[in-house]
Amino acid sequence: ARPVFRVNVLGPDGADRHYYARTLCPSGLEASAAIPFAANDAPGPWKITARDVLTGTTATTTVRLEATP
């Protein structure tokens, strides 16, 4: 079966940003996606979590957005 990954994004306040969520269906075990952060998104740490829908395995990373002048 082909893997299916669900990517969710939480803002610095911990709220789900559903408009940045993605479902990826790669042909192999690796996938990539761009998250088009906006200039007016809140600065601070944003949490990105990818979950394998079949196994439930997750991977999480954090990116820090800087305030725009």
Grade residue 69 by pLDDT with cuts at 50, 70 and 90: confident
Q: Would the pLDDT of 11 be above 90?
A: yes
pLDDT at 30 (0 to 100): 86
pLDDT at 44 (0 to 100): 98
pLDDT tens by residue, 15-63? 999 999 999 999 888 889 999 999 999 999 999 999 999 999 999 999 9
How far apart CA 26 and CA 32 sit, in angstroms, is 9
Grade residue 68 by pLDDT with cuts at 50, 70 and 90: confident
How far apart CA 60 and CA 40 sit, in angstroms, is 23
How far apart CA 32 and CA 44 sit, in angstroms, is 23
